[in-house]
Amino acid sequence: MHGRRLLTLVLSCLISACAAEEAGEPGETSTPLDERAEIGLQIAPVPLKLEGADRDVVGLGSYLVNAASACVDCHSCPTYAPGESPFTGGRGRLDAANYLGGGVPMGQGIVAPGLTPDTNGLPGGLTREQFVAAMRTGRSPHQPDHVLRVMPWPLYRHLSDQDLGAMYEYLRAIPPAQPGTCTRPGE
């Protein structure tokens, strides 16, 4: 049994080396654009500032923010463009004007903050380190004794550093927005 595993490993390495040689110079590997990054770029509801940014990282961040999590439901007010709510027969087109601008009332006086870049280009006014810490601990850097009870940080804390970094880079690439009018999440 040990011999078969070793043979499989050796064959796998040889196949990888041959694929790398076909892709370019010997010893180089070619990584195609991550399919999730391409989807993320296609579904971004707002124009993205990609100058000086890694397109694939921003695309992956868009995929995570727009397809794999529900950031828009709590951080966009309203969530959908007029007549576009999928819950009432619409196609689900997001409201670009107020996209991730915050302002969603969550009850008990809690209002979701905006996640778009501030005047310094920081999403929600947070540095990358503050953003990652908030996602991992559920604590706001502005109120460290306060635990974010509405945000699903207990789930997001398990995202990889790469995924959280991609989300942050995506948020840096979107335009600033202000909240519109809504009465609850997902409206």
| pLDDT tens by residue, 92-142 | 999 999 999 999 999 888 899 999 999 999 999 999 999 999 999 999 888
pLDDT of 114: 95
Where helices occur in the chain by DSSP H, the ranges are 2-23, 35-43, 55-63, 71-75, 128-137, 153-156, 161-173
Residue 123 and residue 106 share a domain: yes
Question: pTM of the prediction?
Answer: 0.80
Tokens encoding 55: 């397109």
Domain that holds residue 9: 1-30
Residue 110: other Cβ atoms inside 10 A: 14
Quickly state the pLDDT bin for 11 (edges 50, 70, 90): very low
Q: What is the DSSP string of 86-125?
A: GGGT----B-STTTT----EEETTEEPPP-SB-TTS-BTT
In a domain, 92, yes or no: yes
In a domain, 81, yes or no: yes
Tokens encoding 101: 């601008």
Asked whether the predicted pLDDT for residue 57 surpasses 90, the reply is yes
In a domain, 135, yes or no: yes
Number of domains present in the structure of the chain: 2
Tokens encoding 181: 């009018």
In a domain, 181, yes or no: no
Phi and psi dihedrals of 182, rounded to 5? -160, 165
Residue 138 and residue 85 share a domain: yes
Residue 130 and residue 153 share a domain: yes
Tokens encoding 103: 């302002």
In a domain, 182, yes or no: no
Asked whether the predicted pLDDT for residue 20 surpasses 70, the reply is no
In a domain, 187, yes or no: no
